[in-house]
Amino acid sequence: MTLHDPETSIPPESPVVLPRSEHSISRKQIDEDTLKVLYRLSRNGHRAYLVGGGVRDLLLGRAPKDFDVGTDATPNQVKKLFRNCFLVGRRFRLAHIRFGGNYLVEVATFRRQARPDDLPEDPAEHFFVTENIFGTPQEDAFRRDFTINALFYDIKTFSIIDYVGGLADLEARRLRVIGDPLVRFTEDPVRMLRALEFAARLGFSLDEKVRGGIYERASLIAEAAPARIREELMELFRHKVAGAVLRNAQSMGLLEHLMAGYEGDEKTFDLLERIDQRTASGVPIEEPFALAALYLSRFLRTCPAQSEKTVTDAVRIAGLVLSPHCGYFHVAHGIRHQARELLVGFFRFCRGRGRRGERRFLQHPMTPQSLELFSLWCAGDEAMLALAAEWREGLAEAARPQEKKTREGSGAKRSRRPRRRGPRRSKKPSGGGEPGS
């Protein structure tokens, strides 16, 4: 079957359909609750497709994070079929079907781009109308961002349905935008960051038109909502690709607009890649740690360890370095405080042992994390790694007396006997008379 040009916005007359015998997806790989949703929709006469990243990951032999369902049933029709269904969203109406525990299957009705005659006369109402115009599977596929995310798995025929050339791009390990990248990046600038993320996560190459589109539209990402950018940045760390993505973002002119003039250096990108390896080993990433890593190099340039700066100076400078980022992205005071403590701890580690206040510093709750950040930064530097080992030994020594004190205290508490009480003395009768008088 001849494949259409995925850069046009006109759906083809017929898609590429890959029958069950020609692909690797099995129902055994799909979550049982998701299958229940697909089967019930199908039995009631609706189209029921597994959509998006779940299909992509199964075809690549990867374990999907979750499964999403696409259907021609409206949200209200879905709700009538499932007692455990809740409708969410005002701009983009979705059906959430909850099963035991916290498991949730998200069901979206196929949608299409709004045409001029679909829009109300009041422009203020366009925002809510454009996302809730229902359409066909073909039209829904062309609304999606990348070709590899627009593949459908039909539960009725067990086939893969491709309207946009996603199967060819999966085979070529290439990331392409559906439609003109310049137009799609203008519609949603965050797609540029997501393009870099998907390429890094999947090991795909960027299509040249995507690359060119990022160079031309990079400045638009500064217009995205700060809360959304903040969450996307943390997603990079959670997916273990922060180092690679931010390095590429800087080389393509995107990073300075993404984080308001931020410029990383090689030591920072190397540190981020080591943090990604740490996360891949099973250590969860937390925002204060990521934030301290991003601004560590800038902090050290302003507050070098081998200078006359004091710990008080380090506290003040760390706060100043973090303040623009935390203010713009509305980072909570507690997260900002922890990131500052990590930077100050790093400063103290660099100065070496034997200074005033060391015992209290070693007992501070943020010190172990700060030492981990210090060790990751020092990788490859034998002298600095030796210093990190000295501090690690000191940290262990500081913990031992505390453990002993805790044990002794709990032992004393167990061995304590209750105080013996003597016999009660009877009261004398009032008036000094004999008892019973």
Question: How high is the pLDDT of residue 437?
Answer: 32
Per-residue pLDDT at 89: 82
- What pLDDT is stored for residue 306 in this prediction? 83
Angstrom distance (rounded) from CA 204 to CA 244: 13
What pLDDT sits at residue 120?
58
**Which residues of the chain register pLDDT less than 50?**
1-11, 126-127, 431-437
Residue 368: per-residue pLDDT: 95
pLDDT of residue 157: 95
Three-class SS of residue 392?
A: helix
Contacts of 168 (CB under 8 A, 6+ apart): 3
DSSP codes, 212-271: HHHHHHGGGGGGS-HHHHHHHHHHHHHTT-HHHHHHHHHHTT-HHHHTTS----HHHHHH
Task: Output the pLDDT for position 124.
Answer: 53
* CA 341/CA 126 separation, integer angstroms: 46
Q: Are 181 and 209 in contact (CB under 8 A)?
A: yes
Catalytically annotated residues:
66, 68, 145
Domain map (residue ranges) of the chain: 1-179, 287-405
Q: What is the architecture, at CATH level 2, of domain 1-179?
A: 2-Layer Sandwich (3.30)
Global pTM value: 0.83
Phi-psi region of 212 (alpha: psi -120 to 50; beta: other; left: phi over 0): alpha
